[in-house]
Structure 1
Amino acid sequence: MLLSANPVNVQELAGLRRQVTLLAETLEKMRLAEYIAYLNRPGRLLWFNFLVGLVRGLGTALGAGLLAGIAYFLLKRIVVLNLPVIGGLIAELSKYVNQP
């Protein structure tokens, strides 16, 4: 039995065609095929994640070192001001930092 080409079926087919076209465009924008190909290569996935972890760790270490250096520099400047309570505390901290 053949379906007749009545207006309801034609409108439904046109709506489905638009939705399928929209879905195809969305999947293309998401680059889903490239992502699936990336996931199917576990060696490359592991290597990439390893490198990202190294860069994050290096950035964290450099950032923490920079902030600690700035804090130490500012604390040494406060010692020069000769504030009674804070100056003594910072001088003692400076002794610990300068120990070998």
Structure 2
Amino acid sequence: MESESHGPLLTALRERIEDLAVKMEKMKLAEYVELLGNPWRLMYINLLAGLARGVGIAVGFTVLGAVVLYFLKKIVMLNLPWIGGFIAEIVRVVQLKVGP
């Protein structure tokens, strides 16, 4: 009689274990553990990721700075009294640092 009461419990436990197995496969846990076992490959992948992030930040900041300077020049052309002089000074300093 006691084994019959455990039947639904065992079935639920089996379904839960199968569900966990599927979720672990989706997480690619085996590949991650394999990567942790090879520290040189892990360092290589992290190095490449760091270089890509650094280049992306540099390019993005350059583009953003160019866009900001472009709009600052346009605001100077509007001849706003005190804003125009301030922005003109900023643009002049940047152009002196960058060169001709």
Q: State the TM-score bracket (shorter-chain normalisation).
A: 0.7 to 0.9
Residue-by-residue CA offset, 1:57-87 (whole Å, 9 max, x unaligned): 1111111111111111111111111112111
The structure having more radius of gyration, on CA atoms, is 1
Which residue pairs with 2:76 in the alignment? Answer: 79
Between the two structures, name the one with larger relative contact order (CA 8 Å, sep ≥ 6).
2
TM-score of the two chains, using structure 2 as the length reference: 0.81
| Residues 83 and 34 of structure 1: CA distance in aligned 2, closer, same or farther (over 3 Å) | same
Task: Look up the match of 1:39.
Answer: 36
CA shift digits 1:21-72 (9 cap, x unpaired)? 2222222222211110011111111111111111111111111111111111
SS in 2 for 1:6: helix
Distance 2:30 2:13 in 1: 23
Percent identity between the aligned chains?
A: 42
CA 1:71 to 1:9, structure 2 compared with 1: closer, same or farther past 3 Å? closer
- Give the distance between the partners of 2:89 and 2:40, measured in 1 at CA: 51
- The runs of 5 or more residues in structure 2 that have no matched partner are none
1: CA distance, partners of 2:94 / 2:3: 87
Aligned length, in residue pairs: 97
- Higher relative helix content: 2
Runs of 4+ in 1 over 6 A off after TM superposition: none
What TM-score results when the alignment is normalised by the length of structure 1?
A: 0.81
Distance, in Å, in 2 between the alignment partners of 1:22 and 1:81 is 65
- Taking only aligned residues, the RMSD between alpha carbons, in angstroms, comes to 1.9
- Unpaired runs of at least 5, structure 1: none
What SS does the corresponding residue of 1:67 show, helix, strand or coil?
helix
